């Protein structure tokens, strides 16, 4: 019971972080020592389940996943109402806080890198240019259709497997963050749209968990350097959103950075 309670609390913390475009749930999983178990648990779901369900279901780490995701879902359902209110009434201040969170979370990625050399720096620059290219994406011109919701869910689930990248940050870039937060407030009216989004997450988890596992085996440091560059380069997206409606709030920016550093320190302890 004690271990399940702790696991549930870790899931709650992951859910809070996945809800806010800053430090990712994957980072919390990484810091709390459940990251590899999470990846292996997700990887356990394979087509073999269809052909030999009774045998394959016993191999899955279902107890771990049920408790962890219960904590994640609980946080998301409760916290979505608070976040939507902040975005509606204090948009520049809220995004300023998010930017501080995102910038500080990049240090978490950097601390996870053990080798620093010229080739790894090139991967960082490559990620940076990909992030900058996202500035030219115009989410307002993209209709929130079923396929776009599916794609958003597919990409956003990367937060569960990529330390440092928040799924909410990806949704913010794609222009899906505010629509999804709004849908979570009224589940009954938006069950179809949320179902499509969750379906994208399921497919994404199945595929991305295998890709990340492979990339980490091949060269973990280059993968993390690319992610670091991507996070820094993509910071231009929320910053542009701030200056469309106001100016950056330096106090909340600093507060967001401080919150990440405090959370990381507390979780490590």
Give CA–CA dist 246/92, Å, rounded: 6
State the pLDDT at residue 173.
Answer: 77
Residue closest to 123 by CA, chosen among 218, 197, 12: 218
Report how far residue 258's alpha carbon sits from residue 255's, in angstroms, rounded to the nearest whole number.
Answer: 5
Of residues 233, 102, 207, 232, the one with CA closest to residue 151: 207
Q: Which residues of 213-250 are buried (b: 16+ CB within 10 A; e: fewer)?
A: bebeeeeebbbbbbbbbbbbbbbebbbebbeeeeebbe
What pLDDT does 150 receive? 92
Separation between Cα atoms, residue 233 and residue 241, nearest integer Å? 15
Nearest to 104 by CA among 24, 25, 175, 174: 24
Tens place of pLDDT per residue across the chain (269 aa) = 678 888 898 888 888 777 776 567 777 787 777 887 888 888 777 666 666 666 767 677 788 889 998 998 888 888 877 877 887 788 888 888 888 877 887 887 788 788 889 999 999 999 899 888 877 766 655 667 888 899 888 988 876 677 666 778 778 778 888 888 888 877 778 889 889 999 998 888 888 878 877 887 888 899 889 888 887 887 877 787 777 777 888 999 999 888 878 877 776 66
Angle between helix 177-185 and 167-174 (nearest 10): 110
Measured CA to CA, the distance from residue 116 to residue 157 in angstroms comes to 28
């Amino acid at each position: 019971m004690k271990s399940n309670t702790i696991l549930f609390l870790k899931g709650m913390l992951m859910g809070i972080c996945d809800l806010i475009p800053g430090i990712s749930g994957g980072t919390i999983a990484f810091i709390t020592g459940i990251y590899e178990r999470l990846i292996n648990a997700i990887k356990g779901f394979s087509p073999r389940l269809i052909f030999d369900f009774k045998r394959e279901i016993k191999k899955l780490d279902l107890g771990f996943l049920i408790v962890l995701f219960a904590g994640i879902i609980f946080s998301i359902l409760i916290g979505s109402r608070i976040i939507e209110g902040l975005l509606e009434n204090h948009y520049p201040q809220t995004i300023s806080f998010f930017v501080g969170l995102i910038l500080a979370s990049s240090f978490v990625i950097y601390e996870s890198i053990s080798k620093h050399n010229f080739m790894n720096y090139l991967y960082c620059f490559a990620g940076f240019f990909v992030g900058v290219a996202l500035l030219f994406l115009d989410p307002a011109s993209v209709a929130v259709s079923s396929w776009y919701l599916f794609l958003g869910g597919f990409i956003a689930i990367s937060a569960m497997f990529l330390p440092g990248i928040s799924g909410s940050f990806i949704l913010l870039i794609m222009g899906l963050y505010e629509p999804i937060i709004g849908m979570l407030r009224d589940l009954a009216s938006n069950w179809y749209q949320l179902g499509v989004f969750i379906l994208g997450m399921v497919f994404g988890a199945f595929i991305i968990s295998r890709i990340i596992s492979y990339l980490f085996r091949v060269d973990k440091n280059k993968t993390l350097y690319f992610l670091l560059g991507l996070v820094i380069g993509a910071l231009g997206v929320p910053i542009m959103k701030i200056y469309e409606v106001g100016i950056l709030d330096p106090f909340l920016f600093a507060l967001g950075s401080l919150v990440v550093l405090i959370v990381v320190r507390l979780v490590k302890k």
